Chains A and B, each alone.
Chain A
Amino acid sequence: MNLRPLPISAALAVSTFGLLLALVRPEISAAAIPADAGVLPRFDAAPFAEERTPAPTGAEWKPIDPVALTASSQPGCNAYRLREWVRIRCSHLPTSVLAQLGGSREGVSLFIDPPGSWVPPGGEVMFPVRRGDRRVFEWSTFGDSYEGVGAPEVAFRISESWAPGDAAPTILVR
């Protein structure tokens, strides 16, 4: 067997995990945004310029309203666009791991909030959208898997691409 003991702090965190989740879960339901993307403007309603701009600051994002992606099945999360930058934020989804699985890492930013917490209540992914992109991200929450209770379990993935010949980029959240 290849079992090494968890640090005490980790064990405590795992053992109280169910309680934490129970506290968080009603908030999720209350905050879930209806999956009616039709009321939101599409993220590609305005064309994407070829110009490369710096990643927006937090202050720049603040007044930006949500947009709808090509397809999304994830309630409780919002997407935003500013120039060629897209930001996907889930404020009420306990977040275990955010990972980029493939594609260019240029300009990619991943955050969980607050950093260093045992059960982060949310996180966000930010990336530029440019011709030739073919990125995939994986957003994991907490579950019960082969690795044990509290192990990362996929909540959804993000596919961001702009293939040659496509008129506009495609962003899927499933």
Chain B
Amino acid sequence: MRRIALLLLLPAAVACGCDASGKATPGAARAAESAPSLEAPAPPAIAPRPPLPTREGGAIARSPTDDALYVADEDHGVVRRIPLPFDPAAAIVDVPMPGLPAQVLALDDRVLVTVRSEGGKPAAAPPVADAGPAKPDREPVSATGPGLLLIMRPDPAAGLVEVARVVLPADAWGIGVSPDQQTALVTSAWTHQVSAIDLATATRTWSLDVPREPRAVVVRPDGASAYVTHLVAGVVTRLDDLRGPPRAHAVTLPPSPLRSPSGKTLDGTLAYSAALSPDGSRFFVARHALGALGEAAWFGAATVDVLLTADDTPFAAKRDAGLPMVESEIARAMRAQSVEMQGNFPRASPAPFVEPRAMVYRRRTSTLLVASEGTNRVVELDARAVDPTLFVVRSFELGGSRDRLIPVSRSGGAPSGLALSSDESRVYVYCRSTDDVVQVRLDPATRTPAARDAGDEDGGAPEPAQSLVHLADDLLGEPDGKGRRIFYDATDGITSGGVSCAGCHPEGRDDGHVWHEIQLDTRRSGSGVNFLGDADQAPLEHTAKVGFPRQTPMLAGRVAASGPYGWHGESRDLVARLEAGFRLHRWGGLYLEYGEGELLGRAQYLAPFLRHGLVPPPRDVHPPTPEEARGREIFTSSQARCARCHVPETGYSDRMAYPLSPRLPPPAGFEVEPNNDFKTPSLAFVGGTAPYFHDGRASTLEVLIDQNQDRMGHTSQLSTGDRAALVAFLRTL
């Protein structure tokens, strides 16, 4: 169907020529230095250190000297050095890591690398003799070592040479450095810590407990404070007094306030990345707003939210349904008959980008480049806008070739890291699911370097819009490797309705959100049982109570069992559960062009990847403390009866469904569910998956035990100390 607006609008492809950075040019700086002065001559000046390309780590980083890119390839357990200028034929040096690298950050003379947990191994294909049906013994095991910050120096032959390593809490992930490059801050995701490292002495100066899943860390220009984003719950933490002892407090930054239901604050997830404006006045967080309003936006919308750092206030005001609006008679008539719309929400596509995974600030144009993991795109947003999400400058599709039957990308898949060239005319994109680096030209085409070098003023083919280096093949081989590409892909309309598996199960973990499972009868998409991120996304016929509560389950390390699966144990095995899931994760019904085999084919690729490719969180293996030992005693006792259903030998679940009695009313906003039998969930990694119960009613394990009411086992008789012991044991699982 013709898109009328395309006839009316010219493409907004030309970026504004305004440069609001206000930076003095090097030439101006030199002129200032040479100006005559009436003051006494100063001692010889130390050449000012040019600012780093970025002070935040990423999956890819460019060296300040502009001679190399570094890629933290977590799925192969190496850091790769790619020489610049970008040349697909150039030799790439792979630097083995002592665990799985998460981020890399290039300083003037050093390269920092976070290693999630020492000893961690990438998931790999089994020996040929073992290939075939999924085998539990191929599951990756949790790493047990500490997190590391490696301090390395560039080396022409070896790529990087380790200078020092700093032991950190496990699951070390994000890096940020102070403006003077003396201090690094590192987040440890699973163990929810932030640590400070003195880079001169390679020592950890402190670690601080913060909320779940800290990821990006950005040091403010004053070097005295920093912001930390979190993968779940929409929290932003501010750290003050970085020179110690540090203090942490929550900063209010509602996700996508202009798309939120009036008066509501949404859950925010996927805050992998953040950036500061060059003057430090604005802090940008790229993430996902669960429940943001939009056309058929069952899962919400991606967003870049802006915090004004002068007083830590959100730039965008919260949405108010009573704001001025005027409309044509056609619009009025259509609104009157549309029960699936909730008023004058922004009518943008809910997905100008999906699952933001990385973000960089482009100074020259005052724009933000955002990697859209789910749609294999890089989107450029106007950073000066109140809500940059709504001010898209342009979008670049990466790669392009797709598989024939299940149309997921063969190249440019799951962009996960961004690094700008020194002149900001190009962006280098690390694409995780296809193991590529794509160079995207941001400026208009120019002559090729060869033509320029040859003095050919007129000739020479223009530089390609994109060029690509394939780094390696997937260690998982097939079918698991294809399962990985499906896992990160939000464009295949059969797998889901616009969001990939990784959108709700980041890294195979959970998003901490409680969804509404509801029967939807939609006007244009048919009927189906679907998940909604927020009750206000439901068609207007649904009033106060919307659907049944469903807390996102963690997948990594929890799907080895043959079955059954599903909230009530209704799916006989993992493949059947995935087939059911394809129908749940969308708006309305699923249109199948070629029949049910479409679902089965995808599920058969995904299931082995979930089992073999998702790396479970690290484990802290240590001799049990007396409290943990007491907790285990209680857990396995015939009185408490925990282990009767949460059977230790089978992943702490017997896979059976049991009634939860006494029956409790559902949390506010949810309907009473007729079926009160729920399958025993696995307790593996339960210490890191709050909130708890299928309805998320328990915010902590302590609350879960305190409010159990003997619905599970028999715990009401336990003393305060024994309850604490049971919780301590559960945290070891």
Contacts and interface: CB of A to CB of B under 8 A. Distances in A.
Contacts of A71: 16, 18, 382, 384
Contact of B4 (A95, A142, A148): A142
Given A103-B317, A147-B341, A172 B328 contact: no
Interface residues of A, number: 79
A10 interface: yes
Nearest to B316: A102
B325 A146 contact: no
Given A25-B7, A161-B386, A101 B523 contact: no
Interface string B250-283: 0000000110000000000000000000000110
Interface in A99-158: 99-105, 108-112, 115-120, 123, 134-136, 138, 140-157
B8 A112 contact: no
Contacts of A14: 330
Contact of B326 (A93, A123, A155): A123
Contacts of A67: none
Interface stretch (A1-9, A55-63, A79-87): A1-9
A7 B329 CA distance: 11
B2 interface: yes
Contacts of B323: 99-102, 105
Contacts of B325: 97-100, 110
Contact of A144 (B2, B281, B318, B344): B2
Contacts of A120: 328
Contact of A136 (B311, B337, B386): B386
A66 interface: no
Contacts of A151: 331, 334
A75 B4 contact: no
B16 A155 contact: no
Given A112-B328, A163-B281, A155 B384 contact: no
Given A112-B326, A153-B4, A159-B391, A134 B382 contact: no
Contacts of B346: 101, 138, 154, 157
Contact of A2 (B319, B330, B340, B387): B340
Given A102-B320, A103-B317, A5 B337 contact: yes
A96 interface: yes
A96 B331 contact: yes
Given A142-B4, A159-B391, A163-B308, A150 B317 contact: no
Nearest to A157: B390
B149 to A, nearest CB: 34
Contact of B319 (A75, A94, A101, A163): A101
Nearest to A166: B281
B281 A17 contact: no
A99 B344 contact: yes
Interface in A20-68: 21, 25, 28, 32, 35
A10 B308 contact: no
Interface in B515-561: 521-524, 539, 541
Contact of A117 (B2, B329, B522): B329
A141 B521 contact: no
B331 A161 contact: no
Contacts of A111: 326
B299 to A, nearest CB: 15
Interface string B332-355: 011011111100101110000000
Contacts of B385: 136, 159, 161, 172, 174
B337 A6 contact: yes
A87 to B, nearest CB: 15
Given A99-B323, A174-B391, A174-B393, A140 B334 contact: no
A147 B10 contact: no
A96 B330 contact: yes
A116 B390 CA distance: 28
B327 interface: yes
Contacts of A6: 333-334, 337
B310 A164 contact: yes
A100 B344 CA distance: 8
A109 B323 CA distance: 11
B47 interface: no
Interface in B379-408: 382, 384-387, 390-393
B330 A13 contact: yes
A35 B9 CA distance: 12
Contact of B384 (A9, A104, A172): A172
A164 B311 contact: yes
A35 to B, nearest CB: 7
A144 B337 contact: no
Given A101-B344, A165-B281, A75 B330 contact: no
B324 A110 contact: yes
Contact of B310 (A74, A95, A165): A165
Residue of B258, B330, B336 with most partner-chain A CB within 10 A: B330
B5 interface: yes
7 contacts: A35-B10, A71-B18, A98-B325, A140-B347, A152-B347, A163-B281, A174-B392
Nearest 9 Cβ contacts at the A-B interface = A10-B333, A73-B12, A71-B16, A159-B385, A99-B325, A99-B344, A100-B323, A2-B339, A4-B337
